[in-house]
Structure 1
């Protein structure tokens, strides 16, 4: 019954978003309804991904959940790039990275820790994730420092080169973690895992079809949402930095929020970390460089030079996330610390 209500609500909000878009309703009303539709569709996308993951295995499931969980945000970002709103795109990238590392991971660790005193996951995987986080921070800092003395053409060239290297690094990480060192990085299975033998709600074929359908629906909603963002931002006096880093990031990451938290509460903290941290790494090492190349094909290159505020936020998020997760153990208080840092950054971004 609950599932039918959820599917009905998702369809209603999608249809309502389309009606408001084509009838020319106010930007505020459209953004409100479209945001609700994106959140519902992200949850629907997450459910479809979880069903596919049931047939693909837990580590692959975490990767798929992170990938399709980022689909909404990637599609939104592509439309922002098309509109030339590069500052908002980079802010949304920042928001997604810190949102996953601080809010999603923090909430997962906190909720899981309330139910299980200590939760453990693969320490070797945590160490590799920490190294990749540091790589992301370093790579984002380098263009920001050197770009000050570069001409615009040099900045564009540097951005394309860095983007290409990041994509190669991410693809090789997938080869390393999913193929050559798959067994070493496999999940630690807790003895007290809740509902460890859950059945998939959908068949394999139907799950894949629903995954495609949800992604297409998100693409339409994203275009309608982006078309009203500029007017909405000016009307309420919000900065592009805050809108991109927090509003878009929270809406786009809805799938990861729900999936990671539910997994942590079932004592599958490894899969929750794979979603939260893996999603941040995917945004930093794959999505952001892909957007640089997409902007190139649109005819106006989006450089990979981030503002000082954005770099500080990413650096702080990576530092505390590494400190908390590197030992392969978590508890509820560590999750609370991550959430506190996220709230502080949110207030700072709002006031900036």
Structure 2
């Protein structure tokens, strides 16, 4: 976390670069370096608030604000009409959380402990919900990829809105499930350790300031996406599916690895799978609704994104079935992630 605080120096540097009309590629890089520590501060702020609100609500806030960075970046991408970047970042978040974060957590924890155990029932509930969510997200895409294009009309865009309404309804019901009817099943066995370092007022203030600065930096970042993809030869798919999810969730990712090193694999998996679930059931529908302000965005993914998403979620279900993990499983997940990343890099 100390390294992230040193990176805050990139915030004023990015503002100066924007003021002097520096190259969009330079502004893009500076914005990326600025968003990383701001996302860390946001995560730290929500963690401090959880000392006052309790671990359950704190965990929910941590997941919500952990995805806020990506939501803000995607909003400005929507504004610029970069729909492929937005959809790639949705898919990339799920793929990154399951393969990269869970893989790195299992590897780090497995090198320290021979075998790590987690609550099989809790993880199974989340991973099963994730499977249904991804299936729902993929249906519009499967429909458009399998039906004769001549038979399609503009009504299929309305299907995306309908799916978004269903998704966000399921998300609301899942909150009711975990906070009300089955709160004992979904409660974490790990309570907070230590005491709050910040007051509640300071925590909220830092959270608000971080959110505002992330919004500004996100606008800088989005304006530099097209120039940097052209200058470096990167594909928009690579930026959306690999780069943006890592930048937006770096603090959340590091927290999961730290939890695994403390032999709290329950928490590490809850962070990764819970974040993926929220991306699909909440962030994706919200982005569909926000796109109506500008140009309506359909929720149609390309074939390779579909395959990567479905394979990732099947892996999540496979990993959760035995209630234990080791370093070899972590390496296997990371290997799959590297193959997917390399494939999108050469597109």
CA distance in 2, matches of 1:293, 1:334: 38
Match of 1:330 among 322, 325, 330: 325
- CA, structure 1 residues 253+197, in 2 after alignment: closer, same or farther (shift >3 Å)? closer
Within a 5 Å distance, the mapping from 1:54-69 to structure 2 comes to: 54-69=51-66
Q: Does the 8 Å contact 1:130/1:326 carry over to 2?
A: no
Within a 5 Å distance, the mapping from 1:70-219 to structure 2 comes to: 70-147=67-144, 148-149=147-148, 151-189=152-190, 197-219=193-215
Shift of residue 335, structure 1, vs aligned partner: 1.6
Greater mean deviation of Cα atoms: 149-158 or 68-77? 149-158
1:23 maps to 2:20: yes
Shift of residue 200, structure 1, vs aligned partner: 2.0
CA distance in 1, matches of 2:62, 2:92: 18
Shift of residue 308, structure 1, vs aligned partner: 0.4
1:238 maps to 2:234: yes
- CA, structure 1 residues 6+248, in 2 after alignment: closer, same or farther (shift >3 Å)? closer
CA distance in 1, matches of 2:4, 2:253: 17
Within a 5 Å distance, the mapping from 1:169-318 to structure 2 comes to: 169-189=170-190, 197-298=193-294, 300-318=295-313
Deviation digits for residues 169-211 of structure 1, max 9, x if unmatched? Answer: 011101101221111222234xxx9xx6322221222212211
CA distance in 2, matches of 1:6, 1:104: 18
Does the residue aligned with 1:70 lie in a helix, a strand or coil? Answer: helix
What's the TM-score once normalised by structure 1's chain length? 0.92
Match of 2:344 among 341, 345, 349: 349
Shift of residue 8, structure 1, vs aligned partner: 5.4
Deviation digits for residues 109-134 of structure 1, max 9, x if unmatched? Answer: 22122223332222221111121121
What's the TM-score once normalised by structure 2's chain length? 0.93
Shift of residue 152, structure 1, vs aligned partner: 4.1
CA distance in 1, matches of 2:199, 2:114: 35
- CA, structure 1 residues 120+208, in 2 after alignment: closer, same or farther (shift >3 Å)? farther
Deviation digits for residues 303-328 of structure 1, max 9, x if unmatched? Answer: 01110010011111111121112333
C-alpha RMSD over aligned residues: 1.8
Shift of residue 332, structure 1, vs aligned partner: 2.0
Q: Does the 8 Å contact 1:72/1:252 carry over to 2?
A: yes
- CA, structure 1 residues 198+112, in 2 after alignment: closer, same or farther (shift >3 Å)? farther
Greater mean deviation of Cα atoms: 330-339 or 300-309? 330-339
CA distance in 1, matches of 2:114, 2:201: 39
Unaligned segments of structure 2, at least 5 residues: none
Report what 2:45 is aligned to: 48
CA distance in 2, matches of 1:199, 1:268: 19
